[in-house]
Structure 1
Amino acid sequence: MHVPALVSLLGLVTLTQAAALWQTPAIPDFLRLFPRADNDLICKPLPTPKLQLIDFARLEKLAKPKLPISVNGSIRLAGLRPKNAAVILKPKLIEFKDPAADKFLSVFPNTTRLFMHAKVDAQDRLGYPYNLVGKVIMRRGPVSQECTGTLVGTRMILTAKHCITTMASGWSLEFVLGFDGTRTTPFPPPWGIPISSTACVGVQDNGLVDGASGRVDESDYVVCLLEKKIPTDLGFVGLDHPKDKAFYLGRTWLSAGYPGSHDDGKVLQLEYDIELGDIVDAPDGATTFVTEPFLDKGWSGGPMFGMYEDSEDKIYAIAVASVRQYISVTDVLLTDSRFSGGYRLFLLVQHARCEWGVTPEERKCCDGTCIPRA
C-alpha cells in the first residue's frame, strides 16, 4: 500500500537581518562591502565553492585503503582535543522560554531541548565538543539560508548536502564558528568571524529529498574546505562507526544545531538523551538513524555526538542531521527526525582529510599503512 509522505527540508531559513550582519565590524576584508550614496550596501559575492560528488564505487576505491578499520569492521577517525579544552557534555544552560519555543514544545512535548545563551558561563561555552559547532550560511546577494556545521579538520567542516544542492547558482558559503546572534555582534571573539569555503565534496546520490515518495538522500552530507584555518587552535571532532547495531541502540546521544524555531536561529541549541528508534541500512554502506522529532529548519548538518569511555577524547560524532519526515497513516500524522551516517560518511571524511588535511591526526592512515586495530 502506498504511504503518502511529506519530507521537510531543514536548514533553509531566510535571514531578514542580512544588512545588519554586513555592517558588523568583525567581518574580515574578504567579504567586500561597498557603501553607496544612499547608505545602502552592495555585497560583492564570494566565489561559489566547487562541489564534487563522487560515485560510491570510486570513493570506496580511493578511501577504503586509507581507513583505520578494526578487525571486527568498526571504523574510528581520530579527533583532536587541545589539552586545555575541557570536555563538557552538559554545560550550564538557559531554559527554553519564548513564544516560538512554547508552541514547539506543545506540539512535541517529549523533547528535551535546551539552548546555549550569551549568559552561559564562558568556560562552559568553550567546552569541547560544542566549541567545534557553528553556523553555515549560504549567500546569494542579500538572500541567505542557514544550516549547521562542525569542524572535522583544521580547515574542514561537515554539514548536510541538501543545504548546498538546493541553492541556485551564484551562491557562496561561509562558516561562523561559535555564532551567537544575541550578543552585541553575532560574531563574538575569539573566533566568531565568517570564513568562506572554496570547495565541497560529497557522495553521489539523487541529491534531492523526494516529497512524493518520502525517499531521503541516503548520503546527505558534504565536507567543505574553508578558505582559512580557524584563528584559534580548537581542535576538531573525531567520528566513530561501531559495526554492532546494539551499540547504537543501547545508549543515548546528543545533538546541537541552530534551528529557526527559537529566535531565528540566533543561539546554539542542544538536544540531550536522544534515543534511536530505528537504524535503516541502505545499499553501499549508507545508514539512516531515526530519532524522536526534534529537528527544525536550520539544524541541518548538525552533529550527533556520543561519549565513549574507552576513548582518550571521549566524544565522537556518528551522523549528520538530515530531515524531519512526516508520514500519514490512516489519517494519523507520524513524524520523526533522521540523521545520515554509516560507512559512506566515513569514506567521505577520510577522503577529504587525506586530500586537505595538514595535521598528523587528520592524515592518520592516509599513507595506507594502518594496521587494523583490535
Structure 2
Amino acid sequence: MAKKKDDVRKEEGSPLSYSQIIDFFDRSPKGDIPKDLRSMLLEEPEPYKFNGIEVKREKAFRVNPTVPMIPKWFGASPKPCKARLPFPTRVLHQGREVNPLVVFNPDDRRTYNDISYPWGTICRVITAAGAGSGVIVGPRHVLTASHVVDWSGNSGGTVEVHRSAGAVRAVTAISRVWYYTKVTGNTVAWVENDEDYAVLVTSSRIGDLFGWMGTRTYNSAWDDEPYWWNIGYPGSIAGGMRPTFQNRKALDEPWYDFGPARSMSTNADLTPGNSGGPMFGFWNDGPYVVAVASSESSTTNWCSGGSWLTNLVRHARDKDS
C-alpha cells in the first residue's frame, strides 16, 4: 500500500503544511493563568481618549511656567552617567572582516543609563504610529510630539520610563491625549512645525516617582545661545533602545513666526526616534522644557514650542490631576 504524501513528509522530519498547522492549534483557552504567573502579564492598553483645545491662533498665552518636581530618593546630577555600549560584532566573510550592521554616528549624542533627576524623566512612547521620545512634565503627564500619536487607528499606546537596552524602570498605558493639532502622515508640514506637540495622560502616576520637568515659553532673546539640552531615543543609535543626551545646543526662532505656537531651528542632532524629546535648559529651581523635537529637513532640524506648549501642559495637568 502506497504511503500518503503527508505521512512521508512527517517521516522525513519536514515542517508541517499550512493545513496541518491549522489543525494543530486551538485558540480557545484551557483554564485560567496561575496566580504566580499572572503578575508577569501586562494588560493590553485601552484606547486613549482625545481632547482637543479650541483657541484662536492670534491669541498669545502669557501663563506662569509649570514648575519642576525633583524627587529626593534618586538624587540629582548635572550630567548623566554614560552607558557602555557592547563591542560591535566582528563579521567574517570568506576569511575577511566586513562591516557589521551597526551604526555609530559621528555626532554629539551619547548614550546613558542613569535614573537620577532629571535624566530618569525620559520616556519612550510607543503607539501604532511608531516609537518616539517624551518627557514627564507632571504627576501623570508626558510631553511628546503630536505626530508620535496614532490619530487614525487609536489602538492604544504605552509609555516606557527610562528604557535602557533590555531594562525599563516603569511601563504605563496612555489613557488620554490633550492636543491643539493632530499632526498626521509620514511628514510634518512646514505649517505644522510650530504646533507639533501633545500631552499624554498616563494610567500610573509616574511623575510622583521619577519627578518631572517644568515648562516655559521660549523667548527669542535666547536665540543662538548654547543653553539647551536634549534627551531622546534616536533609532540610529543603539536601535532606539538606549536614551541619549546632548548639550550646549542652540535654538533660533524665525523672524516671521509671531503666533502663540512657535517653531525653532536647532543645531541639535535629530533623527527619527528623537521626535517628542525635550529641548530644555536649567534654571535655579531645576530644568524647564521650552520645545520638543519635531522634524528634520535636508539642512535644518526643527523644534516646536511657544506659549501654546506651556498652556497645553498646564491645561492637561489641571484637567487630569
TM-score (norm 2): 0.74
Equivalent residue, structure 2, for 1:236: 212
Aligned: 1:174 with 2:158: yes
Query: Cα offset for 1:324?
Result: 1.1
Aligned twin of 1:301: 276
In the TM superposition, what are the counterparts of 1:4-83 in structure 2 within 5 Å? 31-32=42-43, 45-57=44-56, 67-68=63-64, 76-83=65-72
Q: Between the two structures, name the one with larger relative contact order (CA 8 Å, sep ≥ 6).
A: 1
8 Å Cα contact 2:228-2:249 kept in structure 1: yes
Secondary structure of the residue aligned to 2:79 is: coil
1:306-337: CA deviations, max 9, x gaps?
022xx223x211111111122xxxxxxxx221
Aligned residue in 2 for 1:161? 146
Which runs of no fewer than 5 residues in structure 1 stay unpaired?
1-24, 33-44, 69-75, 106-110, 118-124, 327-334, 358-374
Question: Which of the numbers 312, 316, 320 marks the counterpart of 1:348?
Answer: 312
Counterpart mapping for 1:182-261 below 5 A? 183=166, 186-187=167-168, 192-204=169-181, 207-208=183-184, 214-230=190-206, 233-243=209-219, 245-261=220-236
Partners of 1:236 and 1:127 in 2: CA distance: 12
Specify the code of the residue in structure 1 equivalent to 2:133: T
Task: String of CA shifts for 1:138-185, please: whole Å, max 9, x gaps.
Answer: 14xxxx7211111111111111100115x541421111111112x4xx
| Whole-angstrom distance in 1 between the partners of 2:209 and 2:67 | 16
2-structure distance, mates of 1:49, 1:29: 23
**How many matched pairs?**
273
Structure 2 distance, partners of 1:177, 1:240, is 23
The alignment's C-alpha RMSD in Å is 3.1
List runs of 5+ in structure 2 lacking aligned partners.
1-35, 89-100
1:286 and 1:58, CA in 2 relative to 1: closer, same or farther beyond 3 A? closer
Q: Secondary structure at the match of 2:297?
A: strand
Name the amino acid aligned to 1:291. T
Classify the secondary structure of the residue corresponding to 2:292: strand
Match among 130, 134, 152 for residue 123 of structure 2 = 134
How far apart are residue 212 of structure 1 and its match? 10
Tell me which amino acid in the other structure corresponds to 1:356: D
After superposition, the C-alpha distances for 1:88-123 in whole angstroms (9 at most, x for unaligned) are 232232477866443x32xxxxx3111114xxxxxx
Alpha-carbon spacing, 1:212–1:220, altered in 2? closer, same or farther (3 Å): closer
Amino acid at match of 1:346: T
Q: What's 2:8 paired with? A: none
Report the Cα distance in structure 2 between the residues aligned to 1:233 and 1:213, rounded to whole angstroms. 37
The equivalent residue for 1:317 is 289
